[in-house]
Amino acid sequence: MNDFVIPVKVEKLIKKFRENNAEIYIVGGAVRDLILKRQVKDWDFTTNLTPEEMQKIFPKNSFYNNKFGTISVVDGDDIFEVTTFRTERGYSDARHPDEIKWGKTLEEDLQRRDFTINAIALDWNKKLIDLYDGQNDLQSRLVRCVGNPDERFGEDALRMMRAIRIASQIGFLIEEKTFKSIQKNAGLIQKIASERIRDELFKILVSFNPSDGIILLNNSGILKEIIPELLDGVGVRQKGHHIDDVWTHNLKTLDNCSTNNPVTKLAALLHDVGKPKSMIGEGEGRTFHNHEIIGSRMAVNIGKRLRLSNKELEQLFKLVRWHMFSVISTQTDKAVRRFIRNVTIDYIDEMIALRRGDRLGSGAKESSWRWELFKKRIVEVQKQPFSIKDLKINGMDVMEILKIKPSRKVGEVLETIFNEVEEKPELNEREVLLEKVKNLK
C-alpha cells in the first residue's frame, strides 16, 4: 500500500461506491501528481457503474448532462467527476468520438487515455494499476502516448497541445515518437475549437518556465498554426541595449513577467509582435517606430481568434499599446497621471509586471527602488485631481454662471479649468473655480 494522502472528501466518495459493491478508481492527472508529490487540483474517477446507477447512490447531490458517461458529485464547495468505464470508436472530426460504449473493465478504459503518465489508476486500497509503464515514464520525465501516437492525436488533436502543456508544467520532455507524431499531425489543430486551444495556451503561459512551452509549440509546428505572427520576429535583430532578435526577446519577456494572469502573460509574449511590420532600415540604423500601435492591433486580432472575452481583449490591447513607458525619477506628475489614464487603474500592476519583464528580457538591469518609487507616485498622484470629475465644480455650475445650455462649450470650459488645476492642485476649491468660470465670460 502506498502512503498517498487522500483528502477526507475523496475517501468519503470512494467509501460510498464501495458500500454499493462498485469499483471506483482515481485516474488521470490526480494519480500522476500524487506520485510526483505535487498538489492535486482536480480529482477524477472512473467506475463500472453507469450514470443512472451512480445517480441512485447520489440522488440529491449529483448531476449528469453529457453523453460521455460523466456525472458530477457535489460535496460542499467541491465537485468530483466520475466517469463510467468506456471505449470509444471513430474520430472523424479529430475532436469527438463517433461512438461511445460503456466498458466492462478498467483495462478497457485505460487503453483509450492519452499519455502513459495519465493512464495510471489508484484503487480503493491505494494500490497502483499501471498497464502502460507510466511510472517508468514519470521516473524518466517523459510524456509518451498510450499506444500509437498518430491514433491518439487523430482521436483528439488537442492532445498535441496537452502534451506540450504537461511537459511545460512539470518540466518533462516529450518522447521522440510522440513528438514526431505531433510534428506530423500539427495541422489537425485547426479542427479544434479556439476556446479549447486558448485554455491550453493559457496553462502553458502560466507554467513555471513558459518559454519552453512556446518553443515546443514552435518546434512541433503548432505555433505556426495558431499564432504565426510571432514567427515573423525570428532573426529580426534589434539595436541599442537589446541583445536578442525580436522572437527571443519576446520569450525572455514572457519568462520575466512576474504575474499569474494569463492575459498579461499573453501580452508579454506579444508586446513586440508589431516590430517586424514597423521595421525601417538596417543594422544599427534600424527603427521600429509605432510598433506598439501596430502590435496592439495585431494582438487584438490574435485575441479574437483565441476567443478572448471583451474584457480580456481590452486588457490585452492596453498592455501592448502602452507598454512603452519610462520609469524615471524626473517624470512629472502630469506624465504619471497620463500613464494611469491610458492604462487605467485596473491594469496598473499588470502593466508594471510586463514592463519589468520587458526590461529584464532585453538584458537591462532595473533597480527595484525605482519601481517602488514609481508605484508610490501612482498612488500619490491619484490623491490630486485626476480627471474633470474630480473638480469641485461641474457642468451645471458652468451652465448657470455662463447662462448657456448643454453644449460642447461646457466641456471646453471644464477642460480649461482642469488643465490649470492639474498644474496647481491647490486651486481645486469651489469658490476659486467658480470665480475662474466667471472670468471666462
| pLDDT on residue 285 | 60
In this prediction the pTM is: 0.81
In eight-state DSSP terms, residue 287 is: B
| pLDDT on residue 147 | 93
Determine contact, residues 226/201, Cβ cutoff 8 Å: yes
| pLDDT on residue 293 | 92
CA angle, residues 285, 287, 289, in degrees to nearest 5: 155
| pLDDT on residue 345 | 81
With a CB cutoff of 8 Å and minimum separation 6, the contacts of 231 are: 218, 223, 224, 247
- Provide the CA 198 distance to its chain's centre, in angstroms: 8
What's the chain's length in residues?
A: 441
CATH 1.10.110.30 domain span(s) along the chain: 141-226
| pLDDT on residue 376 | 74
| pLDDT on residue 243 | 72
Alpha-helix runs per DSSP H in 126-175: 134-140, 149-155, 158-170
Classify domain 141-226 at the CATH class level.
mainly alpha
| pLDDT on residue 30 | 95
Instruction: Name the 3-class secondary structure at 71.
Output: strand
Residue at 267: amino acid letter: A
| pLDDT on residue 404 | 87
Determine contact, residues 322/217, Cβ cutoff 8 Å: no
Sheet holding 70-75, edge to edge: 62-63, 70-75, 78-84, 44-47, 24-27, 120-122, 128-130
Residue at 385: amino acid letter: P
| pLDDT on residue 220 | 97
| pLDDT on residue 152 | 94
CATH 3.30.460.10 domain span(s) along the chain: 8-133
The residue ranges of the chain whose pLDDT is under 70 are 1, 66-68, 88-100, 240-242, 283-286, 327-331, 366-369, 371, 379-386, 441
Could you identify the residue written with the cell 513528438? 179
User: Domain 227-383 classified CATH 1.10.3210?
Assistant: yes
With a CB cutoff of 8 Å and minimum separation 6, the contacts of 292 are: 271, 274, 320, 321, 322, 323, 324
CATH topology (fold) of 8-133: Beta Polymerase; domain 2 (3.30.460)
| pLDDT on residue 385 | 61
CATH 1.10.3210 domain span(s) along the chain: 227-383
| pLDDT on residue 70 | 86
| pLDDT on residue 421 | 80
